[in-house]
Amino acid sequence: MQLEAVGAQEVVVGIVAEAFVKFVTRLCECEKLKKLHERDFELAKVAEEVTKALSDGREGTFGPVTIKVQKKFLGRREVKVWLYGNEVDPNTLLAELSKAKSRAAWLLSDCSDHALIEVLYPYEDRYLIEVAQRNMEEIKSLCTGATPKIDFGEAPAHVVEGVMKGVEAYLSRHAGA
């Protein structure tokens, strides 16, 4: 009887570890994508202000975008635009702003805390979900190969053991990556 209980506990711990590794893998994919698309986030932040400045014919520097307006003969004006120090056509800039806003919105949606936690829903362990939610920022340290300090709160032993086993499994698979 004792052996069956230990065996069942080990199975549950293994399932929690597997769930945790899937969660961390998705979390780290998102962190990598956010870093890869930093420029999109930077552009998306200033997109509305840049678009308004262009339509108003207003000069200024907005993050990576610089707008210069030169008055010409008979009230005409010439607009010059620089994106990350390179001169671009205003229409090209508007297209880049649109793409950046779309990519940033996609990443913010697909990599939101809620979307990341959804990876754990099929496992139906509310304690595991609570541990992941409470420690999201700390768990991100796994993405750089560090061991997180996880607050388990009132989580039962199978979650604590499973998460710790998951941390070890993730770090051993991604060592040196």
Query: How high is the pLDDT of residue 174?
Result: 83
Query: How high is the pLDDT of residue 154?
Result: 94
Count the neighbouring beta carbons within 10 Å of the beta carbon of residue 163: 28
Order of strands across the sheet with 86-88?
60-62, 65-71, 77-83, 86-88
**Residue 119 pLDDT level (bands cut at 50, 70, 90):** very high
Which one of 1-10, 65-74, 105-114 scores highest in mean pLDDT? 105-114
Return the percentage of the chain with pLDDT > 70, whole number: 95
- Domains of the chain, by residue range, sit at 7-37+110-173, 39-96
Query: How high is the pLDDT of residue 73?
Result: 75
Query: How high is the pLDDT of residue 6?
Result: 59
CA pair distance 74, 60, nearest whole angstrom: 23
